[in-house]
Amino acid sequence: MLNRLFGRVSKDIGIDLGTANTLVYVNDRGIVIDEPSVVAINERSGQILAVGQEAKEMVGKTPAHIVAIRPLANGVVSDFEVTEKMLKHFIDKVHRETFSILPRPRVVIAIPLGVTEVERKAVEDAAKNAGAREVVLVEESMAAAIGARLPVQESTGSMVIDIGGGTTEMAVISLGGVVTWRSLRTAGDDLSQDIINYCRDEFSLLIGERTAEGVKIAIGSAMPLEEELSTQVRGRDLVTGLPKEVEINSQQVREAIEKTINIFLENIKSTIENTPPELLADIFDRGILLTGGGALLQRLDERIAEEIQMPVQVVDDPLTTVARGTGLILEDLDTLKRAIVLNSEAEAN
């Protein structure tokens, strides 16, 4: 009775709970929230000052008593209380237009393949404490495959590589399950850190995360470009302590991120080596799909295809693939729940 009542006043939502960004999908409305997973808190009062984009703008610019926190690290909850508050903010924001006094939605959340039972429970509890009446957890790779409209329930093999901010997932999927997979806690944030380290070592220049991310997006590439690019980078001179500006080009950025790119390639090869031959034949025919923000790195798909001698393509709008997958799961939740969910409640039934 209560479930039916809450169902009428609440909007079921799908959440791609990412290290860098959180996306929220609402039935019949699509993706309504796409904001950084950052929360700004006043440590003196414990008050939340900002969530999402507004909080990200504060990173590196706050006084000592205000901290901008990323409550997720490597795709899992690192600060339970802040994650709970962030989720509550997003759930309330979705229901603001419906004038619902006490929203209690069903929530589908995508989480990395390699999470432990404790990490899984932390996500579940955070969502319930934030107001969800039912929490359904699904593997990110499965959500990405569904979001890319792959036939995950069929006996044909599909391979998805999802490069997020904190984790990289590579999985071979068939008959509604993950057959072979790898989950790395090396991803887009590591590419940004590589650029920070390169600027420090080569130019004696200290730059911040946002600056490094901007360089990665603007001129980063996995293979040489037809026309090499360059950009100006500003930071603090580690020798004089004064502001300094240097020019960095795409060739130098490639050199900086090469080690991390090689980690991706080695693990992709290992995943393929462990894939049953029949499924491998299907993947060779269909190709490998790249999703996540890391898929937008220039010529990354070509670099992977060259290394593994198989077709690779980037899905349309790779940043939203996982969120769209959670939305499709919501539309057919009762049918798909038994096949793909990870939450302990379903496993116990």
Name the CA dihedral angle for 16, 324, 135, 176, rounded to a multiple of 10 degrees: -110
- Residue 15 pairs in a beta bridge with 24, 109
Could you give the CA distance from residue 71 to residue 89 in angstroms, rounded to a whole number? 14
> Which range (55-59, 83-87, 281-285, 336-340) has the least confidence?
336-340
3-class SS of residue 161: strand
What 8-state DSSP symbol labels residue 341?
Answer: B
pLDDT number for residue 341: 55
How many percent of the chain have pLDDT more than 70? Answer: 91
* Tens of pLDDT, residues 43-92: 888 888 999 889 988 877 888 889 888 898 877 888 898 999 899 888 88
Name the CA dihedral angle for 210, 250, 224, 318, rounded to a multiple of 10 degrees: 20
Q: Give the chain's domains with CATH numbers.
A: 2-35+80-143+321-343 (3.30.420.40), 150-186+262-315 (3.30.420.40), 188-256 (3.90.640.10)
Contact assessment for residue 325 and residue 144, using Cβ atoms and an 8 Å cutoff: yes
Could you give the CA distance from residue 317 to residue 330 in angstroms, rounded to a whole number? 20
- Does residue 244 have a pLDDT over 90? yes
- Residue 162 pairs in a beta bridge with 169, 291
Phi, psi at 261, each rounded to 5°: -60, -40
pTM (two decimals)? 0.88
- Does residue 98 have a pLDDT over 90? no
Contact assessment for residue 254 and residue 126, using Cβ atoms and an 8 Å cutoff: no
- Does residue 8 have a pLDDT over 60? no
pLDDT number for residue 60: 75
- Does residue 348 have a pLDDT over 50? no
- Give me the mean pLDDT over the 255-260 stretch: 98
Could you give the CA distance from residue 152 to residue 142 in angstroms, rounded to a whole number? 8
- Give me the mean pLDDT over the 275-281 stretch: 93
- Does residue 343 have a pLDDT over 50? no
210 Cβ partners below 8 Å, 6+ apart? Answer: 56, 59, 60
Could you give the CA distance from residue 35 to residue 12 in angstroms, rounded to a whole number? 19
